[in-house]
Amino acid sequence: MAQEIKLPEGLGDLSTMSQTVDEAAGLPFDLSGFLESRIGTRLQKDALEKDTSIGEMRLQVGIEKEFDSLTFNLVSDFIYDPVQDRYAVDLETGQGVVDLREANVVFSPLDFMDVKLGRQILTWGTGDLLFINDLFPKDWNSFFIGRDDEYLKGPSDAIKTALFFGDYNLDIIYVPRFDADRFIDGTRLSFFDRAQGSLSGENPVLANPPDKWFGDDELSLRFYGSIGAFETALYYYNGYWKSPAGQNFITGLAEFPKLQVFGASARGPVGKGIGSVEVGYYKSADGAASNPLVRNSEFRFLVGYEQEIGTELTGSVQYYLERKSDYDQYVASLPVGAIQDRRDRHMFTLRLTKLLMQQDLRLSLFNFYSPSDKDGYLRLKAAYKIRDNITAEIGGNVFYGQKIYSFFGQFKDNSNIFAALHYDF
Amino acid sequence: MKHMLKLFLLLPLFWAVPAHAIDVMDVVKKANHMSYYQANDGRAKVNMRIIDAQGRTRVREFIILRRDDDDTDTGQRFYVYFNKPADVKKMVFMVIKNMDRGDDRWLYLPALDLVKRIAASDERTSFVGSNFYYEDVSGRGINEDTHTLVKEDDNYYIIKSIPKDPQAVEFASYKSWIHKSTFLPIKTEYYDAAGEKLRSYSALKVDMVDGYPTVTASSMEDHKTGGKTLMNYSAVKYNVGLPENIFTERYLRKAPRKYLR
């Protein structure tokens, strides 16, 4: 097998590389973003909502500008959404033609300190689509109607101070005015209204959010470090339940009761994969135990494991528990005829992700199943990259359950399929 | 006296071996050093063109920062910052290569501000959809194969390597052409059990950068699918002085601009 292997260019007489300098970019800042259209339909009639579950054109523009010692970030979405059909801009709820996702400056006033000031997306914790100590705003509407995963996170208007002491680090996040979840309020998705005892849609829940600057504020702390190969963290949160978890006794309006959370997590290699565990104690407002109008304190627990299980195939499983702390008092305080929740809510999740065609085709499945609520939620998605910057996507969100009032069961009429065409620049 | 005699008896044996005789493990070690461990650290901008059998091209562009734990050519840290394609722009992939256990890997997704720990995958699967495998990019342990020097000519040591654990890999053997004066692998061919070529790597261009001979263009061809990937390095720099803490969660969330420019 005689084979002539030619010397590669340059090896004959090694010369110093003439390093090509990148041509200066045309813009004085870094620009990125995408344009997409996304359309979806309910799989069944919902008397309370439109058949079209999603129908929108979305342009995202991201601008990043670096100065000597600080970086400025701006990310904003511009949306044409005839399904919602509301064009007045509300930057808090993200409704209307503009959804400002990021507008912040990042700087390091000290060697061991990073500060991010302004509107930002925040995430921490170890769960996969389940959150215990991550009390930053979630957008459940986007999540359930088939927008990209990034929209599960709503923005926070916050100052994040990160301190690095080597082995141990501390994040301090202060939100001067409470940022609620973009919770299910009936405008896009129907839900079970326990106060009414029936499904509700179109008529938004009249929430009464804490909205005083510097009065109704939130504080999130994370103290973290590695122990060997394991990443460990302690968490603290002081603020409000992020979605309505109470009702005003007099007005009947939905409320966000006070909430404190104490938690911890660990994550690291286990066997061939990654294992994680997270706990949290949700301390609800004073008197919650015996007040049927305020959600009880809870203990929450999560354990997860992810591993590659085949060629370009990854699988993960999680077990999640929510346990009411003062269950006897909760039961005793319930009005006659009220729906009585179990003490424990158990949930299992399964994720499978398969890459095909040189990673151009991505198939994913995520299933939530609760044996205690006897309900669940299946997310399916296939995304194919037609070119480097064009992706076509189809998917479905299927809710199932026996009870009309259970967490996922209430959304049965919202089961939907969607398709999207996405162009990145 | 007795010892002297022994020595004389042995002498002709030594002479029979060519003057430049070299231990095969020595070549393998040096080649491994030249491919993955030159200088204490390094930075490069990588452009990958993934071309399938139909000629369709995909482009990946990223900046790679590498820091060696010490001078023993073992533990290393990698920070990979993506620029292209646009949907993965600003995403970061970080690896801590351990010798005593599997690698630690993280992915940072900027749109969610999510630091995700990811399970170490099969080292012999595609790196970012290219024809290069993870192991081609980060290096294959030199003790995972049995190496034999099969031939040498004016330019190359030609080494055949057979995996100690054939179940763990897709190939039955591979052959490398190691350039004699630089110890750079210039060509590597992977074969299946029938001796058919599976994939072949070629160094296409070598430059001297900061005093280190460096492969600045290479290709990996997949003979089964007909696809290939061209990899080009630019803005290569050695001994950048990367601090160890670049490879921590802090810099996943806040890209170390200074070293990425």
Tell me the pLDDT tens digit for each residue of A230-262: 999 999 999 999 998 988 878 778 889 999 999
Contact list in B for residue A308 (CB cut-off 8 A) is 119-122
Statement: residue A143 has pLDDT above 90 = yes
Residue B158 forms part of a structural domain = yes
Question: CB–CB of B79/B260 below 8 Å?
Answer: no
* Rounded average pLDDT over B149-156: 93
Statement: residue A25 has pLDDT above 60 = no
Cα–Cα distance, B112 to A353 (Å, whole number): 19
Q: CA of A379 to nearest chain B CA: how many angstroms apart?
A: 19
Cα–Cα distance, B203 to B230 (Å, whole number): 10
Statement: residue B101 has pLDDT above 90 = no
* Rounded average pLDDT over A184-204: 84
Interface contact A204, partner B, CB < 8 A: no
The pairing of beta strand B212-222 with beta strand B228-238:
antiparallel
Checking A252-257 for CB contacts under 8 A at 24+ apart, the result is A252/A195, A253/A206, A253/A207, A253/A208, A254/A205, A254/A206, A254/A207, A254/A208, A255/A207, A255/A208, A255/A294, A256/A178, A256/A180, A256/A207, A256/A208, A256/A209, A256/A210, A257/A284, A257/A285, A257/A288, A257/A294, A257/A295
Of A34, A122, A162, the CB nearest to B250: A162
**Domain housing B118:** 21-260
Quick one: pLDDT at residue A92?
84
Q: Which residue has the tokens 């734990």?
A: B69
B108-143 in b/e burial notation, b at 16+ Cβ within 10 A?
bbbbbbbbbbbbbbbbbbbbbbbbbbbbbbbbbeee
Contact list in A for residue B208 (CB cut-off 8 A) is 14-17
**Which of A198-207, B56-65, B180-189, B248-257 is least confident?**
A198-207
* Rounded average pLDDT over A278-285: 97
Q: CA of A169 to nearest chain B CA: how many angstroms apart?
A: 9
What is the chain A residue with the closest CA to B251?
A: A114
- CATH number for the domain that contains residue B239: 2.50.20.10
Statement: residue A109 has pLDDT above 60 = yes
Residue B111 forms part of a structural domain = yes
Of B86, B217, B245, the CB nearest to A425: B86
Quote the percentage of chain A above a pLDDT of 70: 94
Quick one: pLDDT at residue A201?
85
A53-83 in b/e burial notation, b at 16+ Cβ within 10 A?
bbbbebebebbbeeeeeebbbbbbbebebeb
Quote the percentage of chain B above a pLDDT of 70: 92
Contact list in A for residue B126 (CB cut-off 8 A) is 312, 358-359
Interface contact B186, partner A, CB < 8 A: yes
Statement: residue B16 has pLDDT above 70 = no
Number of C-beta neighbours around residue A173 at 10 A: 22
Total count of domains within chain B = 1
**Which residues on adjacent β-strands are paired with residue B148?**
B160
Interface contact A19, partner B, CB < 8 A: yes
Interface contact B121, partner A, CB < 8 A: yes
Of B45, B112, B204, the CB nearest to A121: B112
Cα–Cα distance, A336 to A305 (Å, whole number): 42
Angle, CA of A311, A314 and A319, to the nearest 5°: 155
Judged by CB atoms closer than 8 Å, whether chains meet at B112 and A11 is answered as no
How many Å separate Cα A192 from the centre of its chain?
A: 22
Interface contact A307, partner B, CB < 8 A: yes
Cα–Cα distance, A274 to B104 (Å, whole number): 10
Statement: residue B22 has pLDDT above 90 = no
Question: CB–CB of B54/B72 below 8 Å?
Answer: no
What is the chain B residue with the closest CA to A310?
A: B122
- Of A386 and A193, more confident: A386
Residue B15 forms part of a structural domain = no
Interface contact A312, partner B, CB < 8 A: yes
Contact list in B for residue A122 (CB cut-off 8 A) is 113
What is the chain B residue with the closest CA to A155?
A: B112
- Of A68 and B126, more confident: B126
φ, ψ at A367 (rounded to 5°): -125, 130
Interface contact B50, partner A, CB < 8 A: yes
What is the chain A residue with the closest CA to B50?
A: A358
Q: CA of A256 to nearest chain B CA: how many angstroms apart?
A: 25
Q: Which of A198-212, B5-19, B123-137 is predicted most confidently?
A: B123-137
Cα–Cα distance, A367 to A398 (Å, whole number): 9
Q: CA of B13 to nearest chain A CA: how many angstroms apart?
A: 30
Residue B247 forms part of a structural domain = yes
The structural domains of chain A, ordered by start, are: 30-424 (2.40.160.100)
Residue B8 forms part of a structural domain = no
**Which ranges of A89-170 does DSSP label H, i.e. alpha helix?**
140-145
Judged by CB atoms closer than 8 Å, whether chains meet at B112 and A152 is answered as yes
Angle, CA of A188, A191 and A192, to the nearest 5°: 160
Q: CA of A420 to nearest chain B CA: how many angstroms apart?
A: 15
Mean pLDDT of chain B: 91
* Rounded average pLDDT over A412-417: 96
Q: Would you state the structure tokens that stand for residue A186, as one six-digit string?
A: 């009936």
Checking A98-104 for CB contacts under 8 A at 24+ apart, the result is A100/A75, A100/A76, A100/A155, A101/A60, A101/A75, A101/A76, A101/A77, A101/A155, A102/A62, A102/A73, A102/A74, A102/A75, A102/A76, A102/A155, A103/A73, A103/A74, A103/A75, A103/A76, A104/A72, A104/A73
- Of A194 and B150, more confident: B150
Q: CA of B87 to nearest chain A CA: how many angstroms apart?
A: 6
pTM for the whole thing? 0.92
Contact list in B for residue A274 (CB cut-off 8 A) is 117-119
Give pLDDT tens digits for A333-345: 988 888 899 999 9
Number of C-beta neighbours around residue A309 at 10 A: 14
Quick one: pLDDT at residue A413?
95
Query: How would you classify residue A402: left for phi > 0, otherwise alpha for psi between -120 and 50, otherwise beta?
Result: alpha
The pairing of beta strand A313-324 with beta strand A344-356:
antiparallel
Q: Which of B70, B112, B136 lies closest to B252, judged by CA?
A: B112
Interface contact B244, partner A, CB < 8 A: no
Contact list in B for residue A224 (CB cut-off 8 A) is 249
Quick one: pLDDT at residue A3?
54
pLDDT band (50, 70, 90) for residue A29: very high
B85 preceded by a cis bond (ω within 30 of 0): yes
Of B113, B207, B227, the CB nearest to A17: B207
Question: CB–CB of A302/A320 below 8 Å?
Answer: yes
pLDDT band (50, 70, 90) for residue A85: confident
Interface contact B87, partner A, CB < 8 A: yes
Q: CA of A291 to nearest chain B CA: how many angstroms apart?
A: 36
